[in-house]
Structure 1
Amino acid sequence: MKTKILLAEDDPDFGMILKQYLELEDFEVSWFQNPEDISQLLLTDFPFQMGILDVMMPNIDGFSLAKMILKEKSNFPLLFLTAKNQKIDRLTGLKIGADDYIAKPCDPEELVLRIKNILKRTVPAATESIIKIGQYSLDKKKLLLTHPLGNVRLTIKEQELIIYFLQHNHSAITRDNILDNLWETNDYFTGRSLDVFISRLRKYFSNDPEIKIQSLRGIGFEIDFPTQ
């Protein structure tokens, strides 16, 4: 499954270059020239694993956009693009909650390296074989969910759903987004299948009350997986 990156860059030439390069590196990139379009997404579906925000944009600057995103998605990884490379920009970004910054014009290879380092720190499901989820441990290689009170052997689809939830942790996810990404189809039968899988996961994680897969009526689910 490709990592989905939100790119906010109003410069059409630079934005297109970044999008094409990142897609060559096997990322899935949604490029927005108008940051106001992103603010609307926060009210509905937000299927991204990290964001790259240009600091200097019209209407809504990168810092203001970051504050809006982090208000709704508190652990969302962010990298800032700045043309000025001034100390005040760096400090402002870090205070807001940015994971990194890079000055424009940037070396695409360095940008990719920074992105991968951020994802390694913030999206453990993408890189680690064993992942701690509250009182549980998920061994991806063995398809095994372990807990002091007992272990569960997972199916491939069950593990894919857990990893997808980890990648969208502390976020609301629509049913359509889950079905489109994991089942690659969206009809009555796959919808019922998703309900069965959700019931199974709730049962598997029932020994830890801090782990929550909450249904949002008419929307989908809100995920809260405590991780280390």
Structure 2
Amino acid sequence: MMRETQGKVQRKVLVVEDDHSIALGLRINLEGEGYTVFLADDGERGLELATSEEPDLVILDIMLPKMNGLEVLQAIRREGRTMPIILLSARTAEMDKVTGLELGAEDYVAKPFSLAELLARVRAALRRGAMAPPSTMHAFGDIVVDEGARSVRKAGRAVDVTATEFDLLICLLRAKGRVLTRETIFQEVWGPNHHGTPRTIDNFVQQLRAKLETDPQSPRHFQTVRGVGYRFSAS
């Protein structure tokens, strides 16, 4: 997924944005930070590039011609691709954010946005995806998690998880049964400058339960501690 130029590895970023001035500004600044940038101005082309170019990260507008951003997001995740996706939209309604996160987005930035903040979020998302101890393994029930490979297997079969889902999973596993507040989880997974809400954490925990619990409605491993947050139980 990474390109090597003159001995230096470059990360690839796909920007799917139909406002040409915004897209051009993002391209100039992302290339200035050393990324290889691909542009698409409609949802169908964005999905094509997400498949053919295998970017390390996608910046995805919601209001797009041909396919809207949420449809593109859903299609990317349906294909099993787990690169971080940052939604970009003038919409600020809570439901749009919740829907995007439930479909597998890592972050949501509302227009008008601070370019410096967006670039910081891009760096943070890529950094989270690259950070992992080389050989730490976790096993519980029929689940095996390899931190170094950033892989999850259930009953011997690979489970597709997004970068943020994996980081949340590792955060809970490393706590070894301690109760983590939502604020602690935000700090560990999203960093100190997060702009999420408690619903953000709840949505990601629900996604982990859906993928890893035998009965997501009665979770054994990812437990809610009412009024506080969440804890992991290996039993």
**TM-score, with structure 2 as normaliser:** 0.52
Provide closer, same or farther for how the CA distance between residues 47 and 133 of structure 1 changes in structure 2, counting only shifts above 3 A.
Answer: farther
Provide closer, same or farther for how the CA distance between residues 88 and 66 of structure 1 changes in structure 2, counting only shifts above 3 A.
Answer: same
CA contact (8 A) 2:14 2:49 kept: no
**Deviations 1:150-174, CA, capped at 9 Å, x for gaps:** xxxxxxxxxxxxx9xx79x89xxxx
The structure showing larger relative contact order (alpha-carbon pairs under 8 Å, at least 6 residues apart) is 1
Where does residue 93 of structure 1 map in the other structure?
100
Q: Which blocks of at least 5 consecutive residues in structure 2 are unaligned? A: 1-8, 139-147, 159-165, 171-235
Where does residue 17 of structure 2 map in the other structure?
9
Where does residue 76 of structure 2 map in the other structure?
69
Task: Give 1:41-190 correspondences, 5 Å limit.
Answer: 41=49, 45-124=52-131, 130-132=133-135
Task: Give 1:194-209 correspondences, 5 Å limit.
Answer: none
Alpha-carbon distance between aligned partners in 2 of 1:113 and 1:25, rounded to the nearest angstrom: 11
Provide closer, same or farther for how the CA distance between residues 132 and 79 of structure 1 changes in structure 2, counting only shifts above 3 A.
Answer: farther
Give the RMSD, CA atoms, in angstroms: 3.0
Alpha-carbon distance between aligned partners in 2 of 1:9 and 1:111, rounded to the nearest angstrom: 14
Give the number of the structure whose alpha-carbon radius of gyration is greater.
Answer: 1
Task: Give 1:20-59 correspondences, 5 Å limit.
Answer: 20-41=28-49, 45-59=52-66
Provide closer, same or farther for how the CA distance between residues 123 and 70 of structure 1 changes in structure 2, counting only shifts above 3 A.
Answer: farther
CA contact (8 A) 1:42 1:72 kept: no
Q: Which aligned segments of 4 or more residues in structure 1 are displaced greater than 4 angstroms?
A: none
Alpha-carbon distance between aligned partners in 2 of 1:4 and 1:47, rounded to the nearest angstrom: 8
Provide closer, same or farther for how the CA distance between residues 38 and 106 of structure 1 changes in structure 2, counting only shifts above 3 A.
Answer: same
Provide closer, same or farther for how the CA distance between residues 64 and 133 of structure 1 changes in structure 2, counting only shifts above 3 A.
Answer: farther
SS in 2 for 1:59: coil
Identity of aligned residues (%): 28
SS in 2 for 1:67: helix
SS in 2 for 1:80: strand
Q: Which blocks of at least 5 consecutive residues in structure 1 are unaligned? A: 136-162, 171-209, 213-225
**TM-score, with structure 1 as normaliser:** 0.54
Alpha-carbon distance between aligned partners in 1 of 2:137 and 2:29, rounded to the nearest angstrom: 37
Where does residue 218 of structure 2 map in the other structure?
none
Where does residue 173 of structure 1 map in the other structure?
none
Alpha-carbon distance between aligned partners in 2 of 1:132 and 1:112, rounded to the nearest angstrom: 30
